[in-house]
Structure 1
């Protein structure tokens, strides 16, 4: 849970500190790469950790990932300019890619299918809690201490996680089969994912005059590289990603559920505080406090879902319920005035619970669809889709927000007005209502995936 907390916290902890970072480091043009660099590095390293854990043992890889992440966090805190901070964040993301994947795979290795739901609920609850609490904690640390403490807080947590995992996981079995690494496949996968994520990260920028041609080139290059990766996996003796995970309905639909759940969690975590900040002119730490209902709802949903999996021996009802409740709650939140604090808080709580209940259920679902030898690969594939969902969600909804602001008459040349572009509060309120309604529509494909997801009886023993 500590390893999961570290990985998820740093996805969003810098969200409300961006303006402070741009002022103190004297660079606002590359500000988006503080988040994007971390997400790109974490995403491209996730499948490698899953495969290496299957081949060489998950305890060893988890200790390496925690140590790498902690050292990189220290470097982030000591950065003196924007390029140094971005480089350190990339290093941090390379360590974070193994934290969630290896922790969840270890749960799948230690416990029988029916018992996994309970503990995956704890793990998923911690992941979700850290993700949505990141902006709140980041705002408080930046306001009362310094932006450097949003990275230095990882040092004691990382050391504690490393010591606990080193002691508690000594009995974890080591793989006894021969190991072979598909280096060509790894290079193609990393290159393809990096091009894809760099292209995605370019969307939503305010200054895009020269970005379109570069993004199209990167997208085409990513298609070529990922196609070459698939061809390489077909002829590899030990594929990095078994292709049946993409062909069979069960693992594919489980991955889609996780993709959209992560997309919604990151989008709501970023844009709900931004809505309060722009409409009420509140400081970052006060605006982030409005995330508290979402913060409480996600781990509550994950905990209840995990316990129900263990009690019922089923995972599909929780996934269907969450994907039915989520678009309704987002649409209701869009139609609720910010001045109605109780109603807004209730709908955010429902949004959090709807997202949270899908996390342990989707992990259990995909782990029951694969053999024990591919447990790490399946878990890393799920986390890869989660990372892609978060990156795509931020890029897509940022682009939608910029488009809606421009249509409403915002003038980006007004430097003192920031992102609002001089719009009145009523116009901004309309923009964010439209943004949330679009986000609610974006949750509907996940409901279709949930309805067609196969159900399997969960065994009570290995």
Structure 2
């Protein structure tokens, strides 16, 4: 590699002098025109904050994260009674799908919004949308209105985690950042764990509508007010110099509306196509399915063109996503999320359909996985804080996911109880560690100006993988299950029996012995293929992590500021001559 080409990201940048900082963005040409690219922040915008102030800031941010996780699992328990109430049980899954689609589409937008409106403004917008959407759910007069209300809540939910992560990164040195991310995941897991039982109790006691209103009045409003007040008072991270004194109208003009629209179209059509294939059981050649995929492809092409040539402040800068480490982190998060959420949704199905356990027992088998997620995230943060390294830990964590999927795919009628409870633990440990280490790797590989956008990109790939993990595994499972059932069940009523088995596992114990065995073996065969595909996704995640480069993790704010300055200098030196190698080289 030429001495003037893109330097290795593993090179220490802290040894360079802070005096060598030059202007990074907003270059002025010979005519005096300034070319806008990305904002330039104050040199000391992340000075160390008082410990008491930091505690209050984190309380405000993390309470919103806890509330989002709590709300998600509460709503999940209400799907069946809501469907029965409106007499539209066949559409109840859209309540969850609309929320997830909205989260996926709007998550990356908050990265750029946090640079334009500030961390405080972006978080307050997310909290307002989230609270408004949940309130509308409680008074929704129809299933369509409820689905739309969940989409509004998703617009805010997509920003809560993203902006919270960005704000914490502004305040915490990278070497300690992983440990704080682990604490965030503990609160997220706690909220998700409490939501299911709480949602069931509220539904049984007050009914589903009263459960929404009770949740709003006694949980969401107090927590949202607490979070909004703390964010308003305590979150005071300066905007970039060129944005601080601009009017609201000028700030709004910096938003990449065309890029945002094409991104929403690309992601939304793709996820909606897979969701309809899974929930409505439409064939792949159905006009709606391939039409959505074609629309997604067209929007993707337009999005790349807009971000490359037209958008002055792109929501997803192509110069960033084509770089080695950001691209590797994005793809690893995508495949890790597919594998993780496929595991979360299909392990309980194994115990319900193959082991014929009750729903409660099936759900309990995920408890070790939930504990492992919290443990793995905190452990990864502790290792990074102690060693300042993340590359070896990342690869080891990926292999844990491969091991777990292989072990689960080997389950059979002779598997011991130890394996049935313990084999999911490596998946939880590995997934939590990977998403923690790769987030830090992404943050460490970009400049301060790109920090918010890069975080939004990471969450976009992660949430997209989560939705696809559920949709694709469901479509694959149903395809194989149908084929296996048709092989094993014959006779005049075979079609009706097969359809009943596919749509409800609760009837399997009531079938005659031959039919029950056919159903159990068909589910076992189909789930084995799904688990093998999970192992493949985890291995692809491992391959995607190989290009990630080890960057120094600053242990103090002073070191971090020095590193940001030298990164700007490094970027200038790479872009000052047209014959330099591409950053993606």
> Per-residue displacement from partner, 1:129-176 (whole Å, max 9, x unpaired)?
555776566556556764453785465145325424532562522313
TM superposition shift of 1:353? 0.9
Matched, 1:207 2:268: no
CA apart distance, 1:430: 3.1
How much does 1:212 deviate? 2.3
CA separation of 1:201 and 1:424: change in aligned 2, threshold 3 A: closer
Of 272, 282, 307, the match for 2:347: 272
**Partner residue in 1 for 2:375:** 300
Q: Which residue of 1 aligns with 2:312?
A: 237
1:81 corresponding residue in structure 2:
142
Cα distance in 1, alignment partners of residues 283 and 416 from structure 2? 40
CA distance, structure 1, for counterparts of residue 473 and residue 199 of structure 2: 22
Q: Aligned partners of 1:13 and 1:336: how far apart in 2?
A: 31
Task: Judge conservation of contact 2:120–2:235 (CA < 8 Å) in 1.
Answer: no
Q: For residues 23 and 167 of structure 1, what CA distance do their matches in structure 2 show?
A: 40
Which stretch shows the higher mean deviation, 434-443 or 164-173? 164-173
2:481 to 405, 413, 416: 405
| 2:87 aligned partner | 26
SS, match of residue 408 in structure 1: helix
Q: Equivalent residues in 2 for 1:245-324 (5 A)?
A: 245-324=320-399
Q: Distance in 2 between matches of 1:340 and 1:21?
A: 38
Match of 2:242 among 163, 168, 177: 177
RMSD: 2.7
- 8 Å CA contact 1:203–1:398 kept in 2: the answer is no
- SS in structure 2 at match of 1:357: helix
The total of aligned residue pairs comes to 462
Moved more, 401-410 or 134-143: 134-143
**CA deviation vs aligned residue, 1:358-417 (integer Å, no higher than 9, x gap):** 122111111111121222111111111111101111111001110121111166634654
Identify which of 500, 520, 527 aligns with 1:425: 520
Structure 1's 261 and 146: CA in aligned 2 closer, same or farther, altered over 3 A? Answer: farther
Per-residue Cα deviation, 1:326-365 (whole angstroms, up to 9, x for no partner):
1211221232357733322211222111111112211111
* Residue 405 to residue 364, structure 1, CA distance change in 2 (3 Å): same
Query: Is the 2:441–2:548 contact (alpha carbons within 8 Å) kept by the matching residues of 1?
Result: no
Q: Distance in 2 between matches of 1:22 and 1:281?
A: 25
Distance 1:438 1:236, change over 3 A: closer
Kept in 2: contact 1:63–1:166 (CA 8 A): no
Once residues 236 and 101 of structure 2 are traced to their aligned partners in structure 1, the CA distance between those partners, rounded to angstroms, is: 30
**TM-score, length basis structure 2:** 0.73
Deviation at 1:286, TM superposition (A): 4.1
Among 386, 393, 396, which residue is 2:472 paired with? 396
Q: Quickly say closer, same or farther: Cα 1:24–1:278, change in 2 above 3 A.
A: farther
Distance 2:459 2:525 in 1: 34
Aligned with 2:111 (options 33, 50, 68): 50
Q: What does 1:306-345 align with in structure 2 at a 5 Å threshold?
A: 306-337=381-412, 340-345=416-421
| Whole-angstrom distance in 1 between the partners of 2:365 and 2:195 | 13
Structure number with larger C-alpha Rg: 2
1:7 corresponding residue in structure 2: 68
Asked whether the 8 Å contact 1:15–1:270 carries over to 2, the reply is: no
After superposition, the Cα gap between the structure-2 partners of 1:131 and 1:270, relative to the gap in structure 1 and judged at 3 Å, is farther
Q: Who is 1:195 aligned against?
A: 269
Does the Cα contact within 8 Å between 1:25 and 1:80 map onto a contact in 2? no
Query: Structure 1 stretch 142-151 or stretch 360-369: which is displaced more?
Result: 142-151
